[in-house]
Copies of this chain bind each other. A is one copy, B any other.
Amino acid sequence: MSPQSGRTRGRRKKQADREQAGDNRVPYIQRKIGTFDILNEEGLCLIEENADKILRDIGMEFRDDPEILEIFKHAGADVKGELVRFEPGMCRQLIQASAPSVYTQHARNPANTVKIGQNNTVLSPVYGAPFVYDLDNGRRYATLEDFHNLVKLHQMLPSLHHSSGIVCEPVDVPVNKRHLDMLLGHILYSDRPFFGGLIGAERAEDSVAMVKILFGENFVTNNTVLYAVSNTNAPLVLDNAMSGSLKVYARNNQAVACTPWTLAGAMSPCTEAGTLAQLLAEAMAVCALTQLINPGTPCLMGSFATAISMQSGAPTFGNPEGGKMVLAAGQLARRLGVPFHTVGALTASKVPDAQAQQEATFGLTMALLAGANFINHACGWLEGGLCSGFEKSVIDADLCGKLIAFAEGIDLSENAQAMDAIFEVGPGEHFLSSQHTMANFQSAFYMSPIADNNSFEQWQAEGSLDLTMRANKRWKELLEAYEPPPIDAAIREELEEYVAKRKASMPDRNY
């Protein structure tokens, strides 16, 4: 190797980081492995029957949204007050009559457009945290600058496929205006697909208006460019903050992941089978609603099911119960015939430590094995979702990279069988310099950008840094190498004008 100045090395490294984030990246996972099915046919039928009983005999409440009650009444459901009851099979039939099993979410960079459904998996970063954490500054309320930095960081991580939505809450912006800055941030600083605002019709309308500026009105009318989650208030309630945005997205052919949010023991029974039946009932009722509003609009069956600590009532993550439930929920979604949305690298840990990775690794691996088509919180989540971590994003994204390689399955080509190599090398010799190894070594194995596989002595000589410290260096390198993806100046201007005008039209509000 010829000597290089620090500056030249730095430039080359930045260039390499940018390239890694760019063209060579697979835009989403196309799984070549199967799913891990934890329930047999009998178990699945039992859960489905129980879900049907719940919908027939208890029903689901749709609060403060008379329009939805009319829609259900018109469709033949039994509506009493805000409670809606369904005959067994009714929701399933409504879903299967029109909901697509796979759909496309377009990105402004077509190379980043994703397919959601079937054997595809999209990995999307953390959503919804009011705090951020990094090693230098600890935990603090997030700002719009943190938000932009997280969007940029995620854009630089090649194992992510989506830009998510509220990667952290910019609490320095009034509550009622944040969604505008966040949408603009995703559009300007990432060229991957992203979320629309989830809470309330007004934010959903703003989301649709902004993507119409970005993609053109006609394109948005005919294509899905936004992703949204509609969370139930388990047990068996959907409130109008969620149904309001759901209606806007469904009417505009934008995707809604109908996702019961269940902490088993608090919001559902303290058993997996009970939680699954309730979860399926809620998801079916909400998915059916999307199809009643606009038959054929993309909807996903969602599952966010974990257990609480039975000592303290606190939510726990990466637990065995959550693993079992996500596997079963994936099976139930496939039988329903819609894509499956779930959650990934969750943890209750306050810092990106060993607990965080034990929980995140188990949870994300289970979500992949469940055949999830969209994995929310695939990186960055800390503290039960209250905090987004910079180091955590980088560490989880490495795990995402591993799972992408894992999902490739085992190559059985003649080259991969490597019989020539085994014959060439023979007993007791080594493969390091064999022809086959030389020909394949660059692409042979997943290479982690942050794991340390060196000797103890070398690791010590390099400062005895644990993974969190190395991840701290890494996210700074990535942000330094970041360059915003190009965007048409006129579109940018129009978006900025829209945001300015909308913000000027509202008083600041912090609720």
Residues of A within 8 A of B (CB): 33-34, 36-39, 43, 46, 50, 53-54, 57-61, 83, 139, 233, 235-237, 264-278, 307-316, 318-321, 323-325, 328, 348-362, 365, 369, 383-384, 386-387, 395, 398-399, 402-403, 405-406, 408-413, 415-419, 421-423, 425-432, 434, 436-437, 440-442, 444-448, 450-456, 459-460, 464, 466-468, 471
Contacts and interface: CB of A to CB of B under 8 A. Distances in A.
Nearest to A429: B235
Contacts of A406: 320, 323-324
B315 A453 contact: yes
A88 to B, nearest CB: 14
A266 B217 CA distance: 57
A441 B355 contact: no
B354 A353 contact: yes
A270 B403 CA distance: 19
Given A269-B421, A428-B61, A310 B441 contact: yes
20 contacts: A34-B38, A46-B417, A50-B419, A54-B419, A61-B428, A235-B422, A235-B425, A236-B426, A270-B431, A273-B411, A273-B413, A274-B421, A308-B445, A312-B453, A312-B454, A320-B402, A353-B468, A361-B361, A361-B365, A369-B369
Given A431-B268, A456-B383, A445 B353 contact: no
A358 to B, nearest CB: 4
B411 A271 contact: yes
A283 to B, nearest CB: 15
Contacts of A264: 444-445
Nearest to A323: B406
Contacts of A318: 402
A452 B355 contact: yes
Contacts of A54: 419, 422
Nearest 8 pairs between A and B by C-beta? Answer: A274-B418, A269-B418, A355-B467, A320-B406, A236-B427, A361-B361, A353-B466, A320-B405
A427 B58 contact: yes
The winner among A53, A58, A445, A466 for most chain B CB atoms within 10 A is A445
A46 B412 contact: yes
A314 to B, nearest CB: 4
A412 B43 CA distance: 7
B416 A272 contact: yes
A36 B36 contact: yes
Given A310-B442, A349-B467, A453-B348, A417 B273 contact: yes
A398 B59 CA distance: 40
A419 B43 contact: no
A311 B453 CA distance: 10
A264 B369 CA distance: 25
A429 B234 CA distance: 8
Given A310-B444, A318-B402, A348-B451, 18 more contacts: A43-B410, A57-B423, A235-B428, A235-B429, A265-B432, A269-B436, A270-B445, A275-B418, A309-B453, A319-B402, A319-B446, A323-B406, A324-B409, A328-B410, A354-B356, A354-B466, A357-B358, A358-B467
A310 B511 CA distance: 53
B431 A267 contact: yes
B444 A270 contact: yes
Contact of A358 (B312, B361, B437, B460): B361
A269 B431 contact: yes
Contacts of A272: 410-411, 416
A299 to B, nearest CB: 21
Contacts of A315: 453
A267 B430 contact: yes
B446 A320 contact: yes
Contacts of A53: 419
Contact of A423 (B58, B427, B467): B58
Contacts of A427: 58-61, 83, 235-237
The winner among A312, A350, A360, A459 for most chain B CB atoms within 10 A is A350
A352 B434 CA distance: 35
A326 to B, nearest CB: 11
A319 B395 contact: no
Nearest to A82: B427
Contacts of A235: 422, 425-429, 431
A320 B364 CA distance: 14
Nearest to A359: B451
The winner among A57, A383, A412, A434 for most chain B CB atoms within 10 A is A412
